[in-house]
Structure 1
Amino acid sequence: MSDHTSEESRPEKSPERSAPAGPDGPAGPAARPQDPPPEPPGAVPEPPRIPAYAHQGGQQRPPNPGQPRRTQAPAPARSLLRAAEPAAMRTATLWSVLATAVLSASLLGDGLGPNLLIIAVPAALGAFFAARAAGRRLRPWTAFWAVGGLALLSVPALRDAGWPTFLAVVSAVAMGSLALHGSRSWLGVFLGSIGLFGSIAGGLGWGGRGVRERTAASRGRLGVAFRATAVAVVLLIVFGTLFASADAAFADVLGNLVPDVSVSSAPWRLFLFVLGLIGALAAAYTAAAPVRWDGVTVGPGKSRGRLEWALPLIVLDLLFAVFMAIQLTVLLGGYDKVMAETDLSYSQYARQGFWQLLWATLLTLLVIALALRWAPRGRGSDRTLVRGVLGVLCLLTLVVVASALRRMDLYVDAYGLTRLRLSVAAMELWLGVVLVLIMAAGVFGARLLPRAVAASGAVAVLAFGLISPDGLIAEQNVQRYRQHHSIDIDYLRGLSADAVPALDTLPEPLRSCALRDIERLLRDTDEPWYATSWGEVRARDILRKRALGDPAGACGSVRTGGEGGERGGDGDDQYDPYDPY
């Protein structure tokens, strides 16, 4: 490709000076256009003609198709997946990262609550500014992952229980990482959900370069900003102390708003500052130069013949059909007939097969994945065969899911709801949703299936946290007590503050026995507003309005044995109803 700017600056050649005429004319063999004409004595030599692109910041010269290409060393695999190194960090991104680090050190040291949402806002803004500087556009799936991650962080702000909070925070990090990477394939969605951790080293280097560039260009302004900030902090400390000592109400409000930073907590606060800094830098660096994990591909498996592929799956379908027929017989004939024929108690039959059915569901998903990898692909009718066989398998597996959930329902009705029982039932229900998505992909196409499965998992975790698992457990056990006069107070008193509204409806002395430990924990902890969940605030308000009785003497009369009474259970069942399962 010619450069028009350089061509205009060249002197025009006249036809007479192009080449001397030979015996065959200007184009004859005697003409030698490759040799320059002789220069007259004393003439100034013409400077070499340098194209314009050689002067433009050292840019590389366009390749000449007439010359052989030079072989270059192969680039590392990670450099092929990650886009080019981003430009220098902009001021908006830098301030967002610093705000995230300061808020992490100030708010995270007292617990989890609304502070996670507060810290996530500047971190998200830093990633947004970095992505906009890199020219990235906001796409619908990116917005979905980002909004989903922020919604998951609302669970710690609403619920006091630690186990749904842990699931929500982990899922929020995964959703944020997916929003920054934007993956589509199965492997891309999996690696994209954890790919944020791979940007830690690159983000630190990128942030260091951005700070050096700004300090070198604006040393005077940084000094002014530092002095102004120092004076403002001193004024706030002096006058804030005076006003706090002058008015107790102002001191109480100020104590709730301002984090309690002491010398003993300085190492912990420093760790949280570094943690927030690293996380915000990694997010901004990923937004500016994401890794295209979709480039990591796994080749399709070897296609199998129809008989070799379909025969094992058809046999499995028949096995599932027999199981479904037996389950329908049980539903029509009643559980009493089955228990009479098998010599099993009500609770034994309920708990006997749940775990087996859960594993059957998981293994079926693995079988479907392997079957799709080795499915026949030779003829057009192979696709119909694959859809038919796997569609029937998914449909029959949904019956297995329904049977497992029914057995768990029977067991919960007999012995009450616990955290583990609720968790595995929710997992079984989500596996059923995944099976429905696989069946839909067989009809409408599998292009959106990886992202749909990830989105369903995020929605399931969000719903699990919002329904208040501890509150649901307490409510179900209180309802069982009203019907069967059977309750496990020892287990319920170990729940979180989310269970207080339901436990508060129990009659005395059960109410005081169930709330004793929760009330003591709330009384001994005085967390600031940003580390206090709504469930904890509601529990404090309930316990403040209605004080507990004398639990020390009252709880001694409550039975906690394993055979009936306040604990529940069948008299002929030697199995402990409140073991880990």
Structure 2
Amino acid sequence: MPGAPVPPVGTWLRRSDPERRAAATPRVLLAALLTGLLAAWLLYDGLGPNLLLLGAATAVGAGIAARAAGRRIRPWAAVWSLLALALLAVPAWWDADWPAALAVVGALALASLALHGGRRWPGVLFPLPGILWQLVPSAVWVWESMDRRPMPGRGRIVPVLKALAVAAVLLTVFGLLFAGADAAMADLLGNLSPDLGLDQLPGRGALFVLGAVTVLGFAHMAAGPRRWDRTEIRPGRERRRLEWALPLVALNLMFGAFTVIQAVVVLGGADAVLSNTGMSRSEYARQGFWQLSVITVLTLVVVTFAKRWAPRTTPADRRVARVLLGLLCVLALAVVASALGRMWFYVDASGLTRLRLWVLVVEIWLGAVFLLLIAAGLARRTGWLPRVVVLGGMLAVAVYGLMGPDAIVAEQNVTRYERALRTDPLTAVIDLRNVRRLSADAVPALDRLPEPQRSCALQLIGQDLDGESGPWYATNLAAARAREILAERPPVDSTAPGRTACDRAGLAYDAW
């Protein structure tokens, strides 16, 4: 329209701002301070059930802010919250660091999504890293809210703070006295309370700040979340049918040719392909997997942009777009199946590693995404797709963490070695340089190995677990079980002049 004002750059961001945000209450501040103290107490010694306790405390702080804003929990928010708690249970169950870190990041993302409550793609994807840009604004929010507040509840809050300080002093004094009077009481109090020292103050202070600021960040979201669903994403410029369809037809033909070749390989032509390439079956499987994984991801990118620029003026245009994109997704499933088949064959030939297991899980999730895209193309309503895609990804992270990746890797390698011992003992081998780098989760499976392989596989794990176990809130079940096994049958020191028995038992190591 002539003379209409041009919207300024960034209007879509301002439109996502909340219409109002409830002020921070003293209860929110108190919840943040108490959670910070819990973080300083529980997190210093490691991860374990303490994450579940801190997650519950953080949920309480966010719930207080949400209630002050008049918000009520919705079904999808409950789903995201329960899945976040399931992710926080991973460090309490297993000892491996990588799944625990992935689970914590996923739990923070899901908590942010639960508080924002989006439905469309912007409303589901943009909130995931929301805690990162809430930390500083949340501190300003609390300061301004407290500065404007007349504080009529000061008479109730100050006595509570005084009572907490007196209780802390009394528990410290009498706890020290009881610990000196009875060894059993000293052991109990030692497990329940941290061993404080001046050298620990900086680390615990940082944990206090981290815990308090995290609660304030989620409370800031709950008091007034961004409405990312209001983000306007204008459709791309519509292309002519031939201009748009020709590249997709060519790509579909290439995918179809690959699918036919793979069908020939599966039906018995693999030996001919291997003889022509001059590669072994293991090399053929390994070389092709990464390329196929990249193709899978790039296909998702192509589908996204092709959907944006697809012709949509007439029903015939929309039908052509749906057919070509649907066919590309179906053929992409054949690529996913081929990648999974190659990796499965490679694992059967060379054993399982952490990386191989992770890429298997990611490839399965990508296949599920293509199935969801096909279902969305067949359905009339697709509003469910963004949340279900994120739900599938987070479920994959939760399953990957809760199933114990290191335990599965060790179990597969040990079972494969035992099977080889029964069939042909002279050729039975196990990649010790792979399994001995696993965490305590692998100890039950590695304990079944014969000597010297058993001691070689458990030496590094035993060194990591050497010493006293941590307090109950920082100890996982896998580490406790591994300590029991290693206490009953400690690894034998197999050091020998020149070369160790582990060197003699070790095998060629495949880096990935």
TM-score surpassing 0.5? yes
Task: State the match for 2:285 in structure 1.
Answer: 350
The alpha carbon displacement at 1:293 in A equals 1.1
1:462 and 2:405 are equivalent in the alignment:
no
Q: Deviations over 1:126-162 (max 9, x none)?
A: 1112112212221111111111111111111111000
Alignment CA distance shift 1:74-1:336 (3 Å): closer
The alpha carbon displacement at 1:239 in A equals 1.6
1:578 and 2:504 are equivalent in the alignment:
no
Of stretches 507-516 and 456-465 in structure 1, the one that deviates more from structure 2 is 507-516
CA distance in 2, matches of 1:172, 1:228: 34
CA distance in 2, matches of 1:335, 1:241: 73
Q: Deviations over 1:29-63 (max 9, x none)?
A: xxxxxxxxxxxxxxxxxxxxxxxxxxxxxxxxxxx
Task: State the match for 1:472 in structure 2.
Answer: 408
Alignment of 1:108-507 (within 5 A): 108-212=43-147, 216-444=151-379, 445-484=381-420, 485-507=428-450
The AA in structure 2 aligned to 1:273 is: F
The alpha carbon displacement at 1:566 in A equals 5.1
CA distance in 2, matches of 1:382, 1:237: 76
**Which residue of 462, 473, 477 corresponds with 1:530?**
473
Q: Deviations over 1:491-531 (max 9, x none)?
A: 21111000001101111121111111111211136321111
Q: Deviations over 1:537-559 (max 9, x none)?
A: 11112222323333335992345
Alignment CA distance shift 1:108-1:303 (3 Å): same
8 Å contact from structure 1 (residues 158, 534) kept in 2 = yes
CA distance in 2, matches of 1:377, 1:404: 34
The alpha carbon displacement at 1:98 in A equals 2.1
Of stretches 516-525 and 372-381 in structure 1, the one that deviates more from structure 2 is 516-525
1:557 and 2:501 are equivalent in the alignment:
yes
The alpha carbon displacement at 1:265 in A equals 1.0
CA distance in 2, matches of 1:516, 1:169: 29
RMSD (Å), alpha carbons:
2.2
Q: Deviations over 1:408-449 (max 9, x none)?
A: 112212221111111222211111111111111111232111
Q: Secondary structure at the match of 1:376?
A: coil
Q: Which runs of 4+ in 1 moved over 6 A?
A: 73-77
CA distance in 2, matches of 1:404, 1:75: 42
The alpha carbon displacement at 1:457 in A equals 0.7
The alpha carbon displacement at 1:167 in A equals 0.9
Of stretches 82-91 and 508-517 in structure 1, the one that deviates more from structure 2 is 82-91
Which structure dedicates a bigger proportion of its chain to helix? 2
CA distance in 1, matches of 2:161, 2:501: 66
8 Å contact from structure 1 (residues 434, 453) kept in 2 = yes
8 Å contact from structure 2 (residues 433, 506) kept in 1 = no
Task: State the match for 2:3 in structure 1.
Answer: none
8 Å contact from structure 2 (residues 15, 231) kept in 1 = no
8 Å contact from structure 1 (residues 100, 120) kept in 2 = no
The AA in structure 2 aligned to 1:556 is: T
Q: Secondary structure at the match of 1:253?
A: helix
CA distance in 2, matches of 1:427, 1:136: 36
CA distance in 1, matches of 2:19, 2:290: 49
8 Å contact from structure 1 (residues 516, 551) kept in 2 = no
After TM superposition, the score normalised by the length of structure 1 is 0.81
The AA in structure 1 aligned to 2:163 is: A
Q: Deviations over 1:60-113 (max 9, x none)?
A: xxxxxxxxxxxxx99976554222443333344333222211111111111111
CA distance in 2, matches of 1:315, 1:525: 64
The AA in structure 2 aligned to 1:493 is: R
The alpha carbon displacement at 1:272 in A equals 1.0
The AA in structure 2 aligned to 1:194 is: P
8 Å contact from structure 2 (residues 249, 324) kept in 1 = yes
* Amino-acid identity (%): 49
Unaligned runs of at least 5 residues, structure 1: 1-72, 569-576
8 Å contact from structure 1 (residues 398, 432) kept in 2 = yes
Name the count of aligned residue pairs: 496
1:540 and 2:494 are equivalent in the alignment:
no
The AA in structure 1 aligned to 2:389 is: V
CA distance in 2, matches of 1:477, 1:374: 48
8 Å contact from structure 1 (residues 156, 533) kept in 2 = yes
The AA in structure 2 aligned to 1:469 is: P
The AA in structure 2 aligned to 1:477 is: N
8 Å contact from structure 1 (residues 153, 172) kept in 2 = yes
Task: State the match for 1:518 in structure 2.
Answer: 461
CA distance in 1, matches of 2:276, 2:314: 50
Of stretches 543-552 and 273-282 in structure 1, the one that deviates more from structure 2 is 543-552
8 Å contact from structure 1 (residues 113, 533) kept in 2 = yes
Larger radius of gyration: 1
Task: State the match for 1:106 in structure 2.
Answer: 41
Alignment CA distance shift 1:214-1:527 (3 Å): farther
Q: Secondary structure at the match of 1:344?
A: coil
8 Å contact from structure 2 (residues 35, 57) kept in 1 = yes
Of stretches 457-466 and 82-91 in structure 1, the one that deviates more from structure 2 is 82-91
The AA in structure 2 aligned to 1:328 is: A
The AA in structure 1 aligned to 2:416 is: R
After TM superposition, the score normalised by the length of structure 2 is 0.92
8 Å contact from structure 2 (residues 274, 284) kept in 1 = yes
The AA in structure 2 aligned to 1:102 is: L
Task: State the match for 1:509 in structure 2.
Answer: 452
Of stretches 156-165 and 137-146 in structure 1, the one that deviates more from structure 2 is 137-146
Q: Secondary structure at the match of 1:361?
A: helix
Unaligned runs of at least 5 residues, structure 2: 1-7, 421-427
Q: Deviations over 1:560-581 (max 9, x none)?
A: 5xxxx7526xxxxxxxx512x3
CA distance in 1, matches of 2:243, 2:104: 45
8 Å contact from structure 2 (residues 407, 441) kept in 1 = yes
The alpha carbon displacement at 1:249 in A equals 1.4
Higher relative contact order (CA 8 A, sep 6+): 2
Q: Secondary structure at the match of 1:370?
A: helix
Of stretches 445-454 and 365-374 in structure 1, the one that deviates more from structure 2 is 445-454
